[in-house]
Structure formats: structure tokens, C-alpha cells
Structure 1
Amino acid sequence: MFTLRADAQPRCTHERASQAWVAQRLATLFGWEFGGEYESGHAASARPYFVPDETLDAAQAAALGIIDEDDLFGGVVPHAFVASKVITHPLPTATSPAPPGWQPRLSAGLAGAVLSGFSVFDADLIEAAGQLLLASGGTVRLKEAQARGGNGQHLFTDAATLRDVVATLDRDTVRRHGVVLEQNLEHATTCSVGEIRVAGRRLAYLGTQRQIDDGNGNEVYGGSHLRVLQGGLDALEAIAADPAERAALRQAMRYDAAVSAAYPGFFASRRNYDVVAGHDAQGRWRCGVLEQSWRMGGASPAEILALAAFLQPGAPAVLDVSCHESHDPGQPVPQGAQVSYHDPAAASGPALKYARVEGGDGSPA
């Protein structure tokens, strides 16, 4: 098996380290030979398994001999843009620019499962789309399609601030990848709903994310706490703790089904959905999918720990696992932690990333 650099965009050191950690752990769990990073033309003695750093498009998958979810830890989409957050929302108008392969009918399938918003592929149309959302009151969030971990996001409450944000965007990047404009909720919680399928094993999980300060005043992803069981997304209803989690699960399942219907060429062995629940400007409680991840993600080290635990005899029916990212160079490694990255001298990004299986009281098992 191999890690795979699927995108020309350079990855941070901590992302490459986490990718290698996940691949090495999978190889150990299933007795596969780990060949490091895949290089074009590499001769494999058997059908290889890949852990890519991005969701693959159909052409990339075909070139690698990937034909179904058993060939990778991640996903394959018919067009590259389908892997990004832009598919969550409709275009501002029926005639607005969109990439080849765009399916307008997906919006109908996602209605009610996502927040109010638009996806825009023309910088000249961003301001008008943003003002439509501002007319409903409250704060609007602009998200750059290619950004990860809470980066590349901007909040605004008036047209002047929006205009200033648009002026900072690269027009060609907007045209190629798009931006998302979306209703922002107050007092919100972000739930994680996901499923992994590896070597005939199928696990699903439900949990919450936490945000942390990156040390520069920016709010970024800080980790997740997940409750995991054996089975698919439909099995999670039994462990949903409250109405908010049940709503998040329903929205994630609707999103997953709608994408599969709109893009029949899509398949994935790793599916993760970020679902937000909170209150809108009128004080109404809302719940909607923010975006999907069909590639190795921030929660993947915790997913792999859960997979390892369920492979052991006598595993519990439900397992609690967590993953953590810290930007504090002085953060010690907790007892029982499985570290996927640690560099107190890191110039940017987290200094420490780890996962662990939790005990019944939230302590390491």
C-alpha cells in the first residue's frame, strides 16, 4: 500500500506526517506491505491500496487502477469540484457560471439539509449574492473552496465589509474553484457524522468538533470526540444522544444520498460530514450540513484507533475515541496518546496532533 500525493498543491508537514501515520497503521492492522509515497510508474506485485491526500477525480483513479472503495482510504468523484464544499449550495441564478459537470438538480435534493447559501464562480457576482443573504439579517460567512481546517473564512454583516473581503480574493482562483457564501449560526455546535469501510470492516461514528485559537487570533479545528460502532450511518440512530445529534445524523444521511443520486460515479470508503446546529438571526434553531470530506481528514487518526480496537476480541459495542490538535509548543503528550505529529518548533500549524481511546469517564482507556 502507498500514500498518494494527489494534488500539486504542497501539503504542510503535519498533514504529510498524519497521512503517513494513517497508512502505516492500516498496513500494520491488515498485514499489508507499506511502500511509502507512491511514485508514477511504480511496479506493485499485487493490486495496491492507496491513502491519498485528496479526494480523487475519475481520471486520477483510472490511471491508478482504482475501481471501487476497496482500493483506497478516501473517495472518487466524477469531477474535481464535487469533492469541495461548493456542491453544498446552489448558484445565485440559473445562468451563473459553473464548472463543466455541475448538476443543478443536486440543490433540490439538499433543500432543508443545508443552511441558506450560494456557491459563486465569478468574483463580480459575490457581492450581489452576499447581499441577498444579508437581507435576511445576521452574519454571513464567506468560505474559500480550497481552504481546510477553518482557514480561508471571512465573516461580514454589511455590504462594505463584504466588498473589502472580495477585494482580497484572487479572481482566477474564484473562477477555478469557487467560493461559498453561507448563513452563519450563533451559539453553534459542529457535529461530525461519518463512516469508514476498510478490508470488509465498516464503522460509523457520531460526535462533536471543537475549535481552538491558533495563537494568532484565528479560530481553527482543534479536534473531535467520536462515539463509534460497527455498521453504517443508519446504525447511528441507536447512539444519538439528543435531538440535535439525531437531526445532524438525518441531515448527513440526506446529503450523502443526494450526492450519490446526482453523481452516480461517486464512491468513497471514508465519508465525513460536518453538520452545524445553532440559532439564526431570528433566534430560530437550525441544523445543516456545512461540507463533506471524502479523504483522510483531521479525525482519521481517531477512526483508525477505533478500527484497531474493534479488531480485538471482546471489543465493546460502542467505543469513544478522540483526536486533538494543539498549537501550544509546550503542550505535553498525554498518557495513552497515539501521536501522529509532534514538532514544538513548527513555524505554522499545530505543534502536536494525537488521538486516543477514551475510558467511560472520558479519560484514556
Structure 2
Amino acid sequence: MHGGSELQSQKSLSPLIPVAAPWRKSGVAALIDRGNALGNAHDQASRTMLLRRIAALLDQPHLAPMDAWEAVGTDAFLVPSEALEIHKANEAGISEARDFLGGVVPAPFVGTKAITHGLVDDDALRPKQWSNDMARLMGDAALPGYTAFSHTDAAKAGRLLLAKGPVRIKDVCGKAGLGQIVVDDVEALDIVLGREDALTLATHGIVLEENLTDVVTYSVGLIELAGQTISYWGSQNLTVDHKGREVYGGSDLHIVRGGFDALRKLELPDNLARAIDCAAVFDEAAHAAYPGIILTRRNYDVIEGTDAAGNRQIGVLEQSWRVGGASGAEIAAFEAFRAEPGTSHVRCSTVEVYEQITPPVGAVVYYQGVDPVVGAMTKYAMRYA
């Protein structure tokens, strides 16, 4: 980030009413793995700004990033960049919700798109900790589809789905809409699956689901921080990156105090109410199917679109149990609620564009500069109402 942008971001920090938290911590720190890359420059800058604002919100120091060995010897409030497997959380001293912002899962695949669908049949290959209860409990809260952990199962699942129309094949770890391809026939299906490494498939899995057209993607989320809970519904925006791809361009969120029950009390159109119900069902199913999950930040992408038969469908696409693209708007809402005790609803947004622009007055700049990998970018968060 350019020096001028950093100065602008620092000046945009608004005074906050200190949180009367039911706990005290030594500060707020990013939890990192020093053996892995920290991400692109814009990711690192955005993460630093997010941590600074969380620390200011909690009226606590912003500490330097820590790895697990450093964190376990402190009482810091930790913010990992990914959902943590239980043993990694334990290594960092995370044992309960008050310790961190994000998610703790019993196995790596539980934090990915893999759990969105069930297996193609009872004989399908699966990880040791796989739960068949997840798909059963979700019912129709997700789109028709399957998760597969072998070429054989993926091929069988793809053929079943192709009988109804085009199939979307998804990398379970893909982000920002990347790592996906749509196939229209068996030949294309087999070509795509033939590129998949068997060991990677067995470890992570792959998702195949009915492809929808004329789509809109909703965001439904719930965050618990410092003894407070907010939830929201909203929509995602797309933008074009420097490679000409349509990618995540930000989120517009309508945020309320309280959890999913508070969202369900809002007077909303049927499609939005259905999207919220799908996210809540997914959340409940995950907790029931995978006991031991600890979630303090969850965001669910819910799609509405038209299937091959011309019917409109709504279902959860994936979960995000980590800080993400919408987190700037989430923290902006916490700030607004803290500063305005009588306010019960706010509208906040995040924006990501692949050029250097001047953000609106009052925006919190998360990144503005030329990323050495992805090129020029501007990222900011804004409260609108």
C-alpha cells in the first residue's frame, strides 16, 4: 500500500465507545502460519486494517501477528485467516468462542464446500470423519448435487446430474468464484475430471451440482464478537479483474442486532426469507453433524437462479467460517451499533475494484495501490445508512 493510502486509512478511524466486554485480553493479533505465504499485498494490507479496527472496537492493543507457538503463551484475541482444524486451534490456545474470530472444525474438509452436498451412494469413498447426517439434515437447503472423493464417484455423480442439465464442477477450496467450470455432456465431464489428481481428490473432494442461470447470490451471516451478536442478509457484487475474469467485487449488507431469529422477524420478500432459512438450516445442520465445531464468524453464500427445467431454485452454495471479503462491512456495523445504542439496523458495504479510484467520503480504505501480483486495486468499507 502506498504511504498516502495508509495515512488516509489511519485518519478514517472514527472515535468509538469502548466495549464493556465481559472479558479482558492482552490485545488482538492475526494468527499466522510462518511456514506458509501470507497472501498477496492487497490481502495483507486488508488484513492489517481489519485487525486494527477490531482492536479499536474492543479498546485493546493491536499486536503483531503470532504463530501458534507464540499465541499459546499469551491471552491474545486471535484472528486466523482460515477455519482452523481442532488440533491447530489447541496448539494456539484456542478452546472457546471468546478466544478468536472465525471457525474451528474437526477436519479440514469440514471448512470447505465439500460438506454442502452428500455422497453419490453408500459405497462412495469418504474421509474418516465424514458425516452423512449433514446432507440429511439440510434437506433442500442446498442445490441438487454431490461431493465426491474419487474419480469413479465423481463420474457417477456427474452423469446423474447431466440427465437433468448442465453441471457445475467446483474446486472445494476455490475462492472469489474461481476454480469452477460448467460441463454440458459426458465427454466434457470426463475431460475435466481427468485433470484431477487422485490424492487431492481423496483428501479434499470435489463438488458437482446443477448449474443455474440468471443468478443472484445472497450473503447471509452471523458474527459473535465481545459478547455481542449481529446478523445480516445482503448481496454480492461482481467485478472484472485484470485477466478479464468476473470475480468478487464486494458485498452490500443489511445488518441487525441479534442472530438468525432476528433476521427471520424482518418483513422481507419470499426469496430473501427463503435464503435466510437456507443459511440457518445449513448452520444448524453443520453444528449437529460435526459436534465440536466452534463458529464465531459465519457467512453463507446463497444462490437464486433458474435450473435447466426453467424452475427458480434457492440454496446454499458454500460457507465461510473465517474473516473474508464482507468482514469490513461487518466490523463497520459493530462500530455503528457500539456508537449508537438506539440503532437496530444499519446498511454497510465493502467494495473491491481492480483500479485505483478515490473512495467516497467516510469510507475506510483497506487497500489502494498496485499489487505486484494482481495489479491495481482499491478496497474499502462504507456505512450508508
Tell me, in whole angstroms, the C-alpha distance in 2 between the residues paired with 1:322 and 1:239: 20
Q: TM-score, normalised by structure 1?
A: 0.93
Is the counterpart of residue 228 in structure 1 residue 255 in structure 2? Answer: yes
Is the counterpart of residue 340 in structure 1 residue 366 in structure 2? Answer: yes
**1:255-287 Cα distance to aligned partner (Å, 9 max, x none):** 111111111101111011111112111111111
Tell me, in whole angstroms, the C-alpha distance in 2 between the residues paired with 1:53 and 1:314: 30
C-alpha contact (below 8 Å) 1:309/1:315 kept by paired residues: no
Q: Which amino acid aligns with 1:163?
A: D
| Corresponding residue for residue 39 of structure 1 | 67
- Structure 1 runs not aligned, ≥5 long: 360-365
Q: Which amino acid aligns with 2:381?
A: A
C-alpha contact (below 8 Å) 1:14/1:349 kept by paired residues: no
Identity, in percent, stands at 37
RMSD, aligned α-carbons: 1.9
| Corresponding residue for residue 147 of structure 2 | 119
Q: Aligned match of 1:180 in 168, 191, 207?
A: 207
Task: Provide closer, same or farther for how the CA distance between residues 213 and 164 of structure 1 changes in structure 2, counting only shifts above 3 A.
Answer: farther
C-alpha contact (below 8 Å) 1:325/1:350 kept by paired residues: no
- Structure 2 runs not aligned, ≥5 long: 1-27
| Corresponding residue for residue 272 of structure 2 | 245
Q: Write the mapping of 1:190-339 to structure 2, written as runs, cut at 5 A.
A: 190-327=217-354, 329-339=355-365
- SS state at 1:17 partner: helix
| Corresponding residue for residue 362 of structure 1 | none
Q: Which amino acid aligns with 2:148?
A: V
Task: Provide closer, same or farther for how the CA distance between residues 68 and 93 of structure 1 changes in structure 2, counting only shifts above 3 A.
Answer: same
Task: Provide closer, same or farther for how the CA distance between residues 211 and 67 of structure 1 changes in structure 2, counting only shifts above 3 A.
Answer: same
Q: Which amino acid aligns with 1:69?
A: A
Moved more, 235-244 or 192-201: 235-244
Tell me, in whole angstroms, the C-alpha distance in 1 between the residues paired with 2:341 and 2:77: 28
Moved more, 113-122 or 309-318: 309-318
Tell me, in whole angstroms, the C-alpha distance in 1 between the residues paired with 2:302 and 2:375: 24
Q: Aligned match of 2:54 in 26, 48, 67?
A: 26
Q: Aligned match of 2:84 in 46, 56, 60?
A: 56
- SS state at 2:239 partner: strand
- The Cα shift of 1:102 comes to 0.4
Moved more, 39-48 or 168-177: 39-48
| Corresponding residue for residue 158 of structure 2 | 130
Tell me, in whole angstroms, the C-alpha distance in 1 between the residues paired with 2:301 and 2:34: 22
Task: Provide closer, same or farther for how the CA distance between residues 344 and 240 of structure 1 changes in structure 2, counting only shifts above 3 A.
Answer: farther
Moved more, 74-83 or 349-358: 349-358
Tell me, in whole angstroms, the C-alpha distance in 1 between the residues paired with 2:284 and 2:68: 34
Task: Provide closer, same or farther for how the CA distance between residues 262 and 43 of structure 1 changes in structure 2, counting only shifts above 3 A.
Answer: closer
Tell me, in whole angstroms, the C-alpha distance in 2 between the residues paired with 1:45 and 1:96: 43
Task: Provide closer, same or farther for how the CA distance between residues 301 and 240 of structure 1 changes in structure 2, counting only shifts above 3 A.
Answer: farther
| Corresponding residue for residue 363 of structure 1 | none
- SS state at 1:65 partner: coil
Q: TM-score, normalised by structure 2?
A: 0.88
Tell me, in whole angstroms, the C-alpha distance in 2 between the residues paired with 1:289 and 1:350: 32
Task: Provide closer, same or farther for how the CA distance between residues 129 and 230 of structure 1 changes in structure 2, counting only shifts above 3 A.
Answer: same
C-alpha contact (below 8 Å) 1:88/1:290 kept by paired residues: yes
- The Cα shift of 1:323 comes to 0.5
The number of aligned residues is: 357
- The Cα shift of 1:46 comes to 5.2
Q: Aligned match of 1:169 in 168, 174, 196?
A: 196
